[in-house]
Amino acid sequence: MNTTQKITTDADLLGIRLAHRVMRRDATRLVELTSGLADPSPERLAAVTEYIHLFADSIHHHHTTEDDVLWPKIQASVGPHLDLSDLTEDHQALDPLLDELRTAADGLPGSIPLLVAALTRLNSELDEHIEDEERTIFPLITEHLPLTEWEAVETIARKGGRTDFELPRMVAVLSPAESVRMKKEGGLALRIMLPFLCRRYRRREQACGLPVG
């Protein structure tokens, strides 16, 4: 590796930290939401079904980007002795569970118990996996991965995601300091777009019955 290249710093990992934060937050919120569904209207059921599909697709895109893009870049920077197979196997184990979520969401309201059970399992598995991933992967990124390579990963991650779903969810979990940083780095276009996207997302939350915020 060219030693003159700037290496990724911990501050550069804000995006992935936020992605992990919103996954865990939504998994917890959706367990609470679905556990309390009682005589929901057809409109609410449709909103919940749509949200769960978006949520499942978001998780799948995130870990697919890690497997297909981030892991090879880390491997190339660290060396062939590095073994990330445990994390890849975790991702592979998540996909059938995500399929269970989608199937149960499509079967509402009769499938509420199945949906709650799948979400509860996902909530637990995400907590364990994300903690393991951040403990294992983040030091490798900040010790070995050039910033240009990390920025390429983030670009691919953004292109494959649903901006109207992902961005407002991230905004909801920002600390005040992180919010200032995001708006500064995002520039005028982001500051103009954010209020519209956040209003649209709040309506999505309200339609499901999720706490807004």
3-state secondary structure of 114: helix
What is the C-alpha to C-alpha distance for residues 128 and 143, in angstroms, rounded to an integer? 23
Count CB atoms within 10 A of the CB of residue 147.
14
pLDDT-derived band at 1, boundaries 50, 70, 90: very low
**pLDDT higher than 60, residue 86:** yes
**pLDDT higher than 80, residue 179:** yes
Looking at residue 186, its pLDDT comes to 85
Q: What is the mean pLDDT of residues 174-184?
A: 92
pTM for the model: 0.93
Looking at residue 190, its pLDDT comes to 85
**pLDDT higher than 90, residue 21:** yes
**pLDDT higher than 90, residue 89:** yes
- List, in sequence order, the alpha helices (H) in 36-111: 42-65, 71-78, 85-106
Which tens digits make up the pLDDT trace of 143-167? Answer: 999 999 999 999 999 988 899 999 9
pLDDT-derived band at 26, boundaries 50, 70, 90: very high
150-182 residues labelled b (16+ CB within 10 A) or e (exposed):
beebbeebeebbeeebbbbbbbbbbeeeeeeeb
**pLDDT higher than 90, residue 203:** yes
Which tens digits make up the pLDDT trace of 93-143? Answer: 999 999 999 999 999 999 999 999 999 999 999 999 999 999 999 999 999
What tokens appear for 79 in the block? 């060396």
> What domains, with CATH codes, occur in the chain?
10-208 (1.20.120.520)
Task: Identify which of 123, 209, 208, 204 has the alpha carbon closest to the alpha carbon of residue 166.
Answer: 204
Which tens digits make up the pLDDT trace of 29-46? Answer: 999 999 999 889 999 999
Q: Is the separation of the CB atoms in 150 and 14 below 8 Å? A: no
